[in-house]
Amino acid sequence: MNGVSVSVVWDEATIRKALPPGIEPAKGMTGGINIASAERVYPFGSYSVTYFYVDVEGFDSPEGIKGRWMLAGVFGPQTNPSAAFKTYYGLPVRPGTSHSELSADTKRAVGTVDRQDFVTIEYKSVSGSCKPVAILLNYISLSPKTKEIGVLKAPFVGDFCKAELVSAKVNAPSGDPFSDYPISKFVGVSEFRNGSSALGVLQPAKE
């Protein structure tokens, strides 16, 4: 898996309205946008992804990374990945894609749905900044079966690299789920390369 992770600050009123009872956003309304592609994924082959998430309290990983509540996402281009993530994990996703573009000085990461680009991140890589990491990411959602809060644990290994944010734009059309979450501030961007991750079952959240 290769991609970019953009740190953002969300609009507080919108986020609090979107989260269900029992889920508290992290202080500062922090979160992010992930745009990535994976070459070899079982059982789907290859796919790409773009999703918005907000950090939430009470589900920190051992590394101190906040739990993540997905606000909206796309997986594709085939329909199987988004259908599986929605059916088994209760995530708000649908078919869509992402891709990257290179220029002489910068890179662009682009999310696309219904043949329209809805988010574009332009950035510069920082040479020699990559470091290997092994982390656990906790994704929080409502179980499609029980409607109770569940945790999807996603261990990740790969290389994280520093990057410089040049520009960021979300231009989803009105009425699209990606347009429902105003961003108060773009904080920064980092790259991840040569990544591998695994997903298990959605586990009940501990009281």
Whether the Cβ atoms of residue 14 and residue 69 lie closer than 8 Å to each other: no
Query: How confident is the model at residue 45, as a pLDDT?
Result: 87
Closest CA to 56 of 144, 158, 161, 139: 139
pLDDT tens for the chain, 207 residues long, are 999 999 999 999 999 999 999 999 999 999 999 999 999 888 888 999 999 999 999 999 999 999 999 999 999 999 999 999 999 999 999 999 999 999 888 999 999 999 999 999 999 999 999 999 999 999 999 999 999 999 999 999 999 999 999 999 999 999 999 999 999 999 999 999 999 999 989 999 875
Whether the Cβ atoms of residue 205 and residue 149 lie closer than 8 Å to each other: yes
Cβ neighbours, 10 Å, residue 55: 22
Does the bond joining 182 to the residue before it have cis omega, within 30 degrees of 0?
no
Homologous superfamily (CATH) of 2-204 is Acetoacetate decarboxylase-like (2.40.400.10)
Query: How confident is the model at residue 207, as a pLDDT?
Result: 52
Please give the model's pTM, rounded to 2 decimal places. Answer: 0.95
* C-alpha–C-alpha distance, residues 99 and 36, integer Å: 8
DSSP string, 12-42: HHHHHHHSPTT--BPTT-EEEEEEEEEEEET
